[in-house]
Chains A and B, each alone.
Chain A
Amino acid sequence: MWMYEKKLEYPIKIKKPDPRMAKVIMSQYGGPNGEMSASLRYLSQRFAMPDEVTKSVLNDIGTEELSHLEMVGTIVHQLTRDLSEEEIKAGGFADYYVDYGTGIFPVNAAGVPWNAGYINSMSDVIANLTENLAAEQKARTVYDNILRLADDPDVIDVIRFLREREVVHFQRFGEALRHVTDLKDCKKYY
Chain B
Amino acid sequence: MDMAADRGEMLKKVQAAEFAAYDLMLYLDTHPNSQAALTKFKEAVEKGKQYRKEFEAVYGPLTARDSSSAAPWQWIQDPWPWNRK
Binding site for B on A (CB under 8 A): 3-11, 13-15, 52-53, 56-57, 60-61, 64, 70, 73-74, 77-78, 81, 168-169, 172, 175-176, 179
Contact = CB atoms under 8 A, between A and B. Distances in A.
Nearest to B31: A175
A177 to B, nearest CB: 10
B84 A57 contact: no
27 contacts: A5-B62, A6-B62, A6-B63, A7-B15, A7-B81, A8-B15, A8-B82, A9-B15, A10-B15, A10-B19, A11-B12, A57-B26, A57-B30, A60-B26, A60-B29, A61-B26, A64-B22, A64-B26, A70-B81, A73-B82, A74-B81, A74-B82, A81-B84, A168-B26, A172-B26, A172-B30, A175-B30
Contact of A53 (B8, B14, B29, B82): B29
B41 to A, nearest CB: 13
B19 A5 contact: no
B38 interface: no
Contacts of B29: 53, 56-57, 60, 172, 176
Interface of B: 8, 11-12, 14-15, 19, 22-23, 25-27, 29-32, 61-65, 75, 80-82, 84
Given A6-B61, A77-B82, A78-B82, A53 B15 contact: no
B17 to A, nearest CB: 12
A83 to B, nearest CB: 13
A11 B8 contact: yes
A77 B22 CA distance: 26
Given A9-B19, A53-B32, 19 more contacts: A4-B63, A4-B64, A5-B62, A5-B63, A6-B81, A7-B14, A11-B12, A11-B15, A53-B29, A56-B29, A57-B29, A60-B22, A73-B82, A77-B82, A81-B84, A168-B26, A172-B27, A175-B31, A179-B30
